[in-house]
């Protein structure tokens, strides 16, 4: 909702996905896909419509390849590989078979049939609560828009994002932008962009950061509030779009821009340093990734390896991506890229709101308390076993760890480790190399696992605490439900006591403990992470240097004293006040 600061100025809050502050005039972009008209065709026209689709697919493939080459030059091969997934989506046999069947049975024009089939797929994805999987809808929409355009009049088929008549720099406002849109942006004209939907995990957000374009996403109904030509200020640090900024606001932002410029230069000095406290306590600072092409970016930010490699992407897309061969190649690429540092690969975490086509055919009354995580893996060996073999093969090419998600009891971790041991033996018999001592970890996301940490620690080499789910299940708060959003607090004393117990149990049993949820990158919580004795933090690329700076300003005894203080505190607000006081004392320039 807009917040009126004065009669002149209107502010909109969204999600900051690419940093920077820019001021300019708005250019509004229309909807992504035009809806084709529906018309009946004769039986003799069916083959002609099929041929028209095949020609459009060929042309679309050529355009995507051309776009990939363009991005490889401007933003590197890692970002260009986004369009490899687009090529797979373009050739998805499930979609194409359905379109051909409907053409024959319903006899309607192919562009309308294509549109309706794609819309059904998009609608199912848009209903998914997981932001990462929900954002994959924009990739399908990107490909579909190209196909529909190529099915249309030839003179418009090659049209990309053009802004004729725009003689000055501007800020782009749209409902959403596809990766192709973002890749096509002319930096000589587009200063930054704001969209009504989107998240930090979208391909568009990733590319915006790679191309250094300030961006804010997730501002509902924004296009109804601005017009082309409006003067706005875009704040990619704090996620704000300000219409008609006042002189006072502009003066404040000039100061902020200068401060940020100094801070960014200063933080670059942290890139090649070890992560350690002011009194010499070392902590491993690694990165969370979902795609192999993200490795280059996290390395540029000084990551000490990959602490969480999510693998759901392979199972949410074309079947070719989840073959044993394809996964092995991806895992090897990442292992070799981060060497001599480690990559920890989480086995596929399906279920809940992360569904795999064809696997979850029957709805569950409560999917978040149902068939998900390690439960799916143990029940579906045809999914689990090939992934284990792929991970093991990668362990011969670099330092690799494997961890199992959503563990709730000792039996589950024992069964998972037994499966891993069996696949080791199968590879050994086949003469394939692997690391026989590959590190094995359990994700601690469920209160039962946290309470049984001493027993679980005897079965594994490390713990990785997934704070997002741990908060959700400890507090019985759906993390995407706006009605109870105020209760979802990582600072809740119950959650913190569980984390403290898990870390202490790990150390009692001679294993290490890391944190890979949102709390790991929360600078307010950094003193607690140090005070708890956490051995590793795994965060997003954009958070790495700030977290390293924060840790370098802290000393272990003062953080341990903070932990003692919160031990006697009963409310999240009190915890936050104590944490903020210490953070502001030690690194005020990092706190917004």
User: Hey, is 345 helix, strand or coil?
Assistant: strand
- Measured between alpha carbons, how far is 13 from 5 in angstroms, rounded to an integer? 13
Number of H helices, E strands in the chain: 24, 17
Fold observed for domain 3-29+161-245: Glucose Oxidase; domain 1 (3.50.30)
Cβ atoms within 10 A of the Cβ of 168, count?
9
Residues of the chain with CATH 1.10.274.10: 43-156
Q: Mark whether 409 is an active-site residue.
A: no
Q: Where are the alpha helices (DSSP H) in 279-346?
A: 295-300, 313-316, 324-338
Residues of the chain with CATH 3.20.20.60: 281-590
pLDDT for res 32:
53
Torsion angle of C-alpha atoms 105, 109, 115, 116, degrees rounded to 10: -30
Query: Higher confidence at residue 119 or residue 411?
Result: 411
- Tokens representing residue 155 in the block: 């003179």
- Measured between alpha carbons, how far is 527 from 13 in angstroms, rounded to an integer? 28
Torsion angle of C-alpha atoms 268, 274, 277, 280, degrees rounded to 10: -140
| 447, 407 contact by CB (below 8 A) | no
Q: Which strands, in side-by-side order, build the sheet including 15-18?
A: 3-4, 10-13, 240-243, 231-235, 21-28, 170-174, 190-195, 215-217, 15-18
pLDDT for res 221:
83
Q: For 260-280, what is the HEC assignment? A: HHHHHHHHHHHCCCCCECCCC
| 342, 306 contact by CB (below 8 A) | yes
Domain 43-156 top-level CATH class: mainly alpha
Residue-wise pLDDT tens digits, 342-360: 999 999 987 655 545 455 4
> Has domain 281-590 been given CATH number 3.40.50.10490?
no
Task: Reply yes or no: is the peptide bond before residue 5 cis, omega within 30 of 0.
Answer: no
Q: For 379-392, what is the HEC assignment? A: HCHHHHHHHHHHHH
- Measured between alpha carbons, how far is 516 from 443 in angstroms, rounded to an integer? 9
% pLDDT > 90, the chain: 46
- What is the 8-class DSSP label of residue 187? T
Residue-wise pLDDT tens digits, 388-422: 999 999 999 999 999 999 999 999 999 999 999 99
DSSP string, 475-507: HT--TT-GGGGGG--TT-HHHHHHHHHHHHHHH
Ranges 74-83, 292-301, 320-329: which has the least confidence: 74-83
pLDDT for res 179:
61
Among 86, 203, 293, 559, the active-site one is: 203
Q: Mark whether 293 is an active-site residue.
A: no
Check: pTM over 0.75? Answer yes or no: no
Residue-wise pLDDT tens digits, 302-336: 999 999 998 876 665 556 567 899 899 999 999 99
Residue-wise pLDDT tens digits, 202-232: 667 766 776 678 999 989 888 888 888 889 9
Ranges 38-47, 183-192, 421-430: which has the least confidence: 183-192
Cβ atoms within 10 A of the Cβ of 95, count?
20
Q: Look at residue 158 and tell me whether its pLDDT is greater than 50.
A: no
Going by pLDDT thresholds of 50, 70 and 90, the confidence category of residue 152 is: confident
Residue-wise pLDDT tens digits, 362-397: 666 676 788 888 999 999 999 999 999 999 999 999
Residue-wise pLDDT tens digits, 481-526: 657 767 888 999 999 999 999 999 999 999 999 999 879 988 999 9
Among 86, 293, 377, 516, the active-site one is: 516
| 444, 466 contact by CB (below 8 A) | yes
Q: Look at residue 182 and tell me whether its pLDDT is greater than 80.
A: no
| 39, 239 contact by CB (below 8 A) | no
């Amino acid at each position: 909702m807009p917040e009126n600061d004065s009669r002149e100025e209107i502010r909109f809050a969204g999600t900051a996905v690419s940093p920077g502050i820019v001021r300019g005039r708005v250019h509004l972009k229309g909807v992504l896909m035009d809806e084709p008209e529906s018309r009946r065709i004769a039986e003799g026209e069916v083959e002609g419509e099929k041929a028209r689709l095949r020609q459009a697919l060929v042309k679309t493939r050529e355009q995507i390849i051309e776009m990939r080459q363009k991005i490889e030059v401007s933003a590197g091969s890692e970002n260009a590989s986004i369009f490899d997934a687009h090529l797979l989506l373009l050739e998805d046999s499930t979609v194409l078979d359905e379109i051909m069947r409907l053409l024959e049975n319903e006899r309607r024009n192919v562009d309308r049939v294509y549109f309706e089939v794609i819309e059904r797929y998009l609608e199912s994805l848009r209903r998914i609560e997981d932001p990462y999987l929900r954002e994959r809808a924009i990739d399908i929409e990107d490909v579909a828009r190209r196909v529909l355009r190529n099915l249309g009049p030839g003179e418009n088929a090659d049209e990309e994002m053009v802004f004729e008549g725009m003689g000055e720099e501007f800020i782009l406002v749209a409902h959403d932008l596809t990766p192709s849109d973002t890749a096509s942006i002319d930096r000589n004209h587009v200063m930054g962009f704001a969209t009504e939907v989107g998240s930090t995990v979208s391909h568009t957000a990733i590319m915006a950061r790679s191309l250094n374009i300030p961006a804010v996403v997730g501002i509902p109904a924004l296009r109804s509030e601005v017009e082309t030509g409006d003067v706005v200020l875009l704040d990619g640090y704090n996620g704000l779009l300000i219409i008609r900024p006042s002189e006072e606001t502009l003066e404040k932002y000039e100061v902020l821009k200068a401060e940020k410029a100094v801070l960014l230069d200063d933080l670059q000095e942290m890139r090649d340093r070890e992560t350690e406290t002011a009194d010499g306590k070392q902590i491993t600072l690694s990165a969370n990734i979902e795609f192999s092409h993200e490795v280059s970016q996290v390395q540029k930010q000084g990551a000490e390896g990959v602490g969480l490699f999510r693998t759901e992407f392979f199972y949410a897309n074309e079947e070719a991506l989840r073959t044993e061969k394809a996964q092995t190649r991806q895992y090897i690429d990442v292992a070799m890229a981060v060497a001599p540092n480690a990559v920890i690969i989480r086995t596929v975490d399906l279920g809940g709101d992360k569904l795999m086509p064809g696997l979850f055919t029957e709805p569950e009354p409560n999917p978040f308390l149902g068939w998900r995580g390690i439960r799916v893996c143990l029940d579906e060996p045809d999914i689990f076993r090939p992934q284990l073999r792929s991970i093991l093969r990668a362990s011969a090419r670099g330092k690799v760890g494997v961890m199992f998600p959503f563990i709730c009891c000792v039996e589950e971790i024992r069964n998972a480790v037994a499966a891993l041991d069996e696949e080791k033996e199968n590879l050994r018999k086949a003469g394939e190399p692997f690391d026989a001592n590959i590190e094995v970890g359990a994700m601690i996301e469920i209160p039962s696992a946290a309470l049984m940490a001493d027993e679980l620690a005897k079965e594994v080499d490390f713990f990785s605490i997934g704070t997002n789910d741990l908060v959700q299940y400890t507090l019985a708060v759906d993390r995407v439900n706006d009605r109870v959003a105020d209760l979802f607090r990582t600072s809740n004393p119950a959650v913190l006591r569980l984390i403290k117990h898990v870390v202490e149990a790990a150390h009692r049993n001679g294993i290490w403990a890391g944190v890979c949820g949102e709390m790991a990158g929360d600078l307010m919580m950094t003193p607690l992470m140090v005070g708890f004795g956490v051995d590793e933090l795994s965060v997003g690329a954009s958070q790495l240097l700030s977290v390293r700076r924060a840790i370098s300003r802290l000393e272990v005894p003062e953080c341990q004293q903070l932990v003692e203080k919160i031990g006697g505190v009963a409310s999240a607000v009190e915890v936050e006040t104590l944490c903020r006081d210490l953070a502001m004392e030690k690194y005020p320039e990092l706190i917004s």
